[in-house]
Amino acid sequence: MTQANTVLTNPILWSDVPDVDVIRVGTVYYMVSTSMHTMPGCPIMKSDNLVNWEIVSYVFDTLEDNNAHNLLDGQGIYGQGSWAASLRYHNETFYVCFSSNDMNQFYIYQTQDIENGPWQRSVIDGIYHDPGLLFDQDRVFVIYGCGDIHITELTEDVTAVKPGGVNQLLLETKKENMGLRCEGCHAYIINGRYYLLFIEWPTDGNKRRRQICYRSNHLLGEYERKIIFDDDLGDHNQGIAQGAIFDTPDGDWYAMLFQDHGAVGRIPYILPVEWQHQWPVIEVKREFEVNGTHKATQPLVASDDFDYKEHSLALQWQWNHNPDHRFWSVTDRPGHLRLKTGHVTSSVLTARNTLTQRTEGPGCRASTVMDVSNMKPGDYAGLVALQNAFGTVGLKVDDNHHYHVTMTVNDGNGQEKVVESLPYRKNQIYVKIVYNFENQIDEATFFYSEDGFNWHAIGETLSMKYTLDHFMGYRIGLFNYATTESGGFVDYDYFYYERR
């Protein structure tokens, strides 16, 4: 490892890493972000230099065990699950808290080892929307809400609401000409002052997301207000807002915020902060130098040869909803991921055990090869560009056990509409999806091959759309599901990923 200046280029991650919160502990930075319906949840990312970030752990493997979280009986938690977590470090303990709208509950996790756990879990009834956790000497508070911002005092052990503690409206944020009033609180005590950072979205002026700061000499007010960032860095008037501020060991200050960026999702930026008259004013910079220790890190999205010695997966992988661990393996056939069908369903949106990774801009591609010889009639397996407006490419087996290489899209009702289906006669097939997010073109194309060298386009170009029912950027997914009877399986030899 060497010490040197590094050029930081925004966006710091061109991928769906929304609702970021960042802290520094010593010389190391940690980040948490929203994970919603993907499991394991609440990814913890780490950096030594602010430029290179890698996933080092997750806060939980499973948030809840019910039909909706398990994608059963027509239920699901697309766009629900864990939202906008707050990450804090206090008295040698790490804390993560967030609300889950589908559960109408507020979750608090704590650990002394953020990279290895274990995490202690506490649950409080009710929604504490987009919370900011604040430690104030020997007291702890959660500040939350949209527009009308509330404050609630928690017990000293941060496991429950404190009986008789502070529980009140803290401030009413600006109402006039607002499409979205202040939300996404990040709370700090800096040099004896209280700072509350929010996103808001006005309907006048630039009409884009912007970052707001409220400050006060006293926790319960009065608060002053200031716009501390209102810019899109030249990208379609999509403002950059909601996130954390933090300092470096050298005393420099930065903000990590995120931007809506079309189908790839909500992508984070790191920007310098200049203190002006005790306000944290965020600077507009696409590129700048930072000090930091250089260290090799694992990529956010990665290829995988599935050569595991134990029943586990690399941290880049997340399941779409809770998996059923009985029906996948990386040890049944060494060097392969086996996806077994354990449930009958009718669409990739309701298929359990779809294994996913993020996509990245400006473009990327993913491919795999499947041994399909153990599929059953009615099974469908392959690759999916996963959002509500999904696209799939893979192999279907008909009632006569004939193979068909197939491309499908959402028919508008969550079911799969076959765009093209061609006879296929081998027991092995290669499939590929190519994503183009450059300048928000947001298109995906689908291919298959018999040998992995000669590729054939199939179906149609998918116009990818970021929709709020999923509230997540497009993912790459490996899937296998049954429409008639369970018990078949597919073996994936590798997952190959390339970003351009």
pLDDT at res. 2: 45
Please, what is the average pLDDT of the chain? 97
Looking at the fold, whether 431 and 476 belong to one and the same domain comes out as yes
Residues 346 and 235 in one domain: no
Q: Is 326 helix (H, G, I), strand (E, B) or coil?
A: helix
Count of the separate structural domains present in the chain = 2
Query: Could you report the per-residue pLDDT of 391-440, keeping only the tens digit for each?
Result: 999 999 999 999 999 999 999 999 999 999 999 999 999 999 999 999 99
- The fraction of the chain above a pLDDT of 90, given in percent, is 97
Q: Are residues 328 and 224 in the same domain?
A: no
CATH number at residue 214: 2.115.10.20
400 inside domain: yes
Who's near 172: CB < 8 A, 6+ residues apart?
Answer: 147, 148, 149
- ∠ CA 409-412-418 to the nearest 5 degrees? 30
* Confidence (pLDDT) at 294: 64
Report yes or no on 424 lying in a domain: yes
Residues 246 and 344 both lie in one domain? no
Averaged pLDDT, 115-131: 98
Residues 232 and 365 placed together within one structural domain of the fold: no
Are 255 and 339 found together in one domain? no
User: For 177-182, what is the mean pLDDT?
Assistant: 97
Q: Check whether residue 461 and residue 371 sit in a common domain.
A: yes
Tell me: do 108 and 64 sit in the same domain.
yes
Question: With 70 as the cut, is the pLDDT of residue 168 above it?
Answer: yes
- Please check the confidence at residue 89 and state whether its pLDDT lies above 80: yes
* pLDDT tens by residue, 91-105: 999 999 999 999 999
Per-residue pLDDT at 3 exceeds 90: no
Q: Give percent above pLDDT 70 in the chain.
A: 99
Q: What is the pLDDT of residues 40-50, one digit of tens each?
A: 999 999 999 99
Q: What is the CATH number of the domain that holds 411?
A: 2.60.120.200
* Residue 163 within a domain: yes
Q: What is the pTM of this model?
A: 0.96
- Confirm whether 31 is domain-assigned: yes
pLDDT of 385 higher than 50:
yes
**134 with 9, same domain?**
yes
Structure tokens at 388: 């509500």
What are the distances in angstroms from CA 108 to CA 77, 119, 195? 20, 9, 22
322 lies in which domain range? 318-499
pLDDT exceeds cutoff 50 at 1: no
Mean pLDDT of 160-189: 98
Query: Would the pLDDT of 112 be above 80?
Result: yes
Asked whether the beta carbons of 184 and 130 are under 8 A apart, the reply is yes
